[in-house]
Amino acid sequence: MYVLVLAVIIGVLLSLWYWKRNYPRSPPMYPGGLPIIGHPHIIINVDQTDDLYFLNIRINFLISGPTWRIHNKLLSTSFNQQVLNTFLPEMNEQARNMVAQMTAVAGKGPVDIKEFITQYILRSCMVFKVQFVFVGTSLGLESKHQDTIDNGYAKALEEILRIVGYRALNVQIHPSCIYNWTSMRRRELELVKIVKNMINPIIQKRKSELKCTKMYNYDSSTTVSGKFKPTLDLMLDLSNEQNVLSDDDIRAHLNTFVAASYDTTSAILHNALMALGSYPDVQERVYEEVQDVFQNNEELTKHDMSKLVYLEAVIKEVLRVYVAVPMVARKVNADIVLPKYTLRAGSICVLSIYGLHRHPLWGPDAKEFKPERWLNPDTLPTNPNVYAPFSFGKRNCIGKHYAMMSLKTSIAHVVRKFRITADINILKWSYEIILKPSTTPLVNLTLRF
């Protein structure tokens, strides 16, 4: 009996110690009980932090903080606008494919658009992966095998993130000594193995291809034979010539790119189409702009991108109100002294992007969906830190311009062809690191011509 009581007391004390050690002193509380520091004036401290955490779970299959700092510089050349423009023809083609699939069901009653969106993102983002990272058909895989890899790989990463999200929200399984005994942990290890087994042969195959063609002799700039050097080649180059990246690093980068791009972009595309269906006036204005820009052409060009001003405002507002990444978390490297409390070194702090996007600085209509606010800078908050759909600081989103291009292209193609009717207010969300639609409310698509 005494032993039992003593065990309970020790358990409670250990939990309190663990809680105090991991959370900053007296932060304001988020409705769900999570500590937040999403105040715009203290966001700047994010650069004093390091690894990506979700509450206090570090995402182990992603690249770690110190490694990311070195690699990010080297890889950022692959994300410049010139390189991104080369993906526009493929984006147009995949958007047309999505529209063709939707046309088959248009006018036949309410439909679930999630599958069409997932296919578009998998095809265009995975094409991005295939061309940008895996160098198109040079993999020598038949397209059906390529599809299996795209689907299986992305789905495995998605499931890992779901597990991480679940663990993050359930404090009783934070300590590894408990979590390691759960079936969830076993599934996580299984998935990590699946991902490893899919990616390793691809890295090895490309390595030997590059050796054969002696491409290693090229310098590590972004171009090869007049073309942009794909990221995988760039990474292999860095590993071979400069010993900067190991195979594990390369795999972690690929995981990071795919995990960070697939779910986020599909959630936002889904939300944007639902929002357009719920606000007919906004949709008509987008339609008119898109018609003006497209004219009789089949494709959007890089010059068209900057002309889609209202559509850009709509996307920015979707990213604000229906944010895809509602919070980010960081490990604090050194004590950060704030007016009311100190974030201690070693603790994990959570930044509520969701909270920032509804901050009173946005005005009394902060919670309303109003794309027009982006057309007049005077109506926007003067503090830029209240808007962070792509996060802040050194580890912000490297793919933000790519995402914007992909969203503009796909939405323009859909709105040009269909009148959408939907109700975004009945949409329910689930937190899986990314805030994802958990229900699939149906949407009506009516052909415009």
Report the nearest approach of ligand HEM to the CB of residue 106 (Å).
Answer: 26
Choice between 34 and 105, CB closer to ligand HEM? 34
Question: Locate tokens 């914007």: which residue?
Answer: 404
Q: Which residues of 378-388 are buried (b: 16+ CB within 10 A; e: fewer)?
A: eebbeeebbbb
Residue 426 CB, nearest distance to ligand HEM (Å)? 22
Considering beta carbons, is residue 260 or 343 the nearer one to ligand HEM?
260
Interface with ligand HEM by CB under 6 A: which residues?
Answer: 52, 62-63, 68, 256-257, 260-261, 264-265, 268, 324-325, 328, 389-391, 395-399, 402-403
Nearer to ligand HEM, 139 or 259 (CB): 259
Between 106 and 275, CB nearer to ligand HEM:
275
How near is the Cβ of 165 to ligand HEM at its closest, in Å? 13
Q: Enter the tokens of residue 419.
A: 């009148």
Residue of minimal CB distance from ligand HEM? 399
- Our CB check for ligand HEM shows the closer of 106 and 195 to be 195
Nearer to ligand HEM, 69 or 302 (CB): 69
Tell me whether residue 349 is annotated as binding: no
CB of 8 to ligand HEM, least distance (A): 37
Burial 87-114 (b: 16+ CB within 10 A, else e): bbebbbbbbbbbbeebeeebeeeebebb
Residues 240 and 211: their CA atoms lie apart, in Å, by 10
CA separation for the pair 190, 327 (Å, rounded): 27
Shortest distance (Å) from residue 391 CB to ligand HEM: 3
Measured from the CB atom, the residue of 68 and 310 that comes closer to ligand HEM is: 68
- Please state the closest distance from residue 276 (CB atom) to ligand HEM, in A: 16
What is the closest distance, in whole angstroms, from the C-beta atom of residue 118 to ligand HEM in the complex? 14
Residue 186 C-beta: closest distance to ligand HEM, Å: 25
Q: Which is nearer to ligand HEM, 92 or 106 (CB)?
A: 92
* Binding annotation: 397
* Binding annotation for heme: 397
